[in-house]
Amino acid sequence: MWRRSASFILDERRSSNSPPMADTTRGGPFQNPDAISAYYQTRAAHHGVITSDWLAQAQAAVGGVSGEEQTVSPAAESGADKTFNVIEEFNGWRKQPDLAEAVAAIRALAAVIRASEATTMMELEIELKKASDTLKSWDKTSISLTAGCDLFIRYVTRTSALEYEDFNSAKSRLLERAEKFGEISCKARKIIAMLSQDFIFDGCTILVHGLSRVVLEILKTAAQNNKLFRVLCTEGRPDGTGVLLANELSKLDIPVKLLLDSAVAYSMDEVDMVFVGADGVVESGGVINMMGTYQIALVAHSMNKPVYVAAESYKFARLYPLDQKDMAPALRPIEFGIKIAAKVEVERSARDYTPPQYLTLLFTDLGVLSPSVVSDELIQLYL
């Protein structure tokens, strides 16, 4: 929005003086140094694509955390140990490629409960809230992380209204719920896969963008049900998601074709439907997903092809972006094959926002929804 006037020249000078940084209230060790979205770096790490920045950051994290934790003191002393554990726990869970990030967050919070020395519900809630804030501030760009934390906290506050004489049984109930959430999330993918089977017919051609584990589950289930279909994968620069997905699909004997990101409009004629995952589903019914989703949805919409989004319910977030730049910036490094001149900027955003008018249906574990229904569901979830 700010680039529309000729003052971009001034803006450029201003922005080169002060590097854009999200608020730094939380302090040193828990802030990502380069505003490189940790969420996308995790995905990249899952895919085995290790960038040099990630490596540097990982080394810094290993070296830095134990040292910095003593110099910077967050609010409470005992809290310092807990917050250290939360992030570490979260990182531990996050590394597993099959685990969704929200589930990792909830497991980390469950670990906080387990390790907590609180004796009243109120104290436990406060500790959890602190831990949740720490997690959220550690990576502001991950929507499912924020949403997962919020949902869990809301569940905790809801149950604590019930009266338990025994504090310990309340605590164990919370732990149980946290475990169950992990199961629910795994089941969510299966539910979504089942719901979407009716939409895949024999002889259809599906266009896929990005490497969503939910979409992969959908295609796997369809292949197991012996459906005959063909998949076109976009290359997915710079993460190379297309080749990875093509590898997975060819193991399942599904005919795959790789396209350049530029070749989507060229091939859109032979496509019957588009399947994408989501990083987050916003209040308008739109989705935030890997960069390029908006473009593909636009092209598909102009050629009357349906765009289906597969998202678990914990990705529903209380966000309402008004345009592309209206989200927390999630940047990640992009490598071109050759050297770039020093003055050249690079658009490094990892994701874009697809407005609801370009989406046809959302497959969630709450059912198959149209984009307009999303806000109703959100009200129910967050009530």
User: What is the contact surface with its own copies in residues (CB under 8 A)?
Assistant: 1, 3-6, 8-9, 12, 202-203, 205, 228, 230, 232, 234-238, 240, 242-244, 246-247, 250, 255-267, 269-270, 290-292, 294-295, 298-299, 302, 323-325, 334, 336-338, 340-347, 349, 352
CB of 153 to its own copies, least distance (A): 32
Query: Residue 190, Cα to own-chain centre: how many angstroms?
Result: 18
Query: Own/partner pairs for 250-254, CB < 8 Å, 24+ apart?
Result: 252/219, 252/220, 252/223, 253/223, 254/219, 254/223, 254/229, 254/230
CB nearer its own copies, residue 182 or residue 277: 277
CB of 249 to its own copies, least distance (A): 8
Query: What SS3 state is found at 137?
Result: helix
Number of other CB atoms surrounding residue 63 within 10 Å: 10
To which H or E segment does residue 170 belong? Answer: helix 167-196
Number of other CB atoms surrounding residue 198 within 10 Å: 8
CB of 122 to its own copies, least distance (A): 45
CB nearer its own copies, residue 16 or residue 24: 16
* φ and ψ at residue 269, rounded to 5 degrees: -60, -40
CB of 234 to its own copies, least distance (A): 8
CB nearer its own copies, residue 53 or residue 125: 53
d(CA 205, CA 147): 33
CB of 246 to its own copies, least distance (A): 5
CB of 265 to its own copies, least distance (A): 4
**Exposure string (b/e) for 318-328, b if CB count within 10 Å is 16 or more?**
ebebeeeeebb
d(CA 287, CA 14): 31
CB nearer its own copies, residue 13 or residue 62: 13
Determine contact, residues 280/147, Cβ cutoff 8 Å: yes
CB nearer its own copies, residue 80 or residue 252: 252
d(CA 62, CA 66): 8
CB of 36 to its own copies, least distance (A): 16
CB nearer its own copies, residue 250 or residue 370: 250
CB nearer its own copies, residue 117 or residue 323: 323
Number of other CB atoms surrounding residue 243 within 10 Å: 16
